[in-house]
Amino acid sequence: MNSNVNHDDFYDVFSEAITATLVQEGISPKAAARATINARHSVYRTFRGQNIYIKKQNDEELLERNLQLFEDHSNGCSVPELARKYELSVQRVYGIIRCASQGDKPC
């Protein structure tokens, strides 16, 4: 999906996903539509005027990526190469390598 999605596009995707999920769970389309409108208003009231960041990957995917990055580094890939490959800043790559080399916690 385009990274320059405007708020109306977000709300449309959000609304369609909620409605479809509720209908799949056996909620009537009319009740699902009402619930979707309520959820949409709640999100608007809670977050209006704020920029919301939605991660590209979930935690498991990030852990897997970071382990692969560390393995690539151990196999001789340079930090700038890794930054390009994984679309990260050089500083973030160094942080992942430092964390993974300590081995005492997930990175």
pLDDT tens-place string over residues 16-72: 999 999 999 999 999 999 999 999 999 999 999 898 888 888 889 999 999 999 999
Please name the residues in contact with 57: beta carbons below 8 A apart, sequence gap of 6 or more.
Answer: 65
For 69-91, write each residue's pLDDT tens digit. 999 999 999 999 999 999 999 99
Quick one: 93 and 67 in the same domain?
yes
C-alpha 27: how far from chain center? 28
Instruction: Tell me the whole-structure pTM to 2 decimals.
Output: 0.53
53 inside domain: no
Asked if residue 107 belongs to a domain, the reply is no
Other beta carbons within 10 Å of 49: 5
Its domain, for residue 43, covers: 7-47
Distance CA 9, CA 7 (A): 5
Summarize pLDDT for 1-19 with one digit per residue, the tens: 445 656 678 889 999 999 9
Question: Are residue 69 and residue 95 in the same domain, yes or no?
Answer: yes
Give how many domains the chain has, as a whole number.
2
Higher pLDDT, 43 or 105: 43
Least Cα distance to 14 among 26, 6, 4, 3 occurs for 6
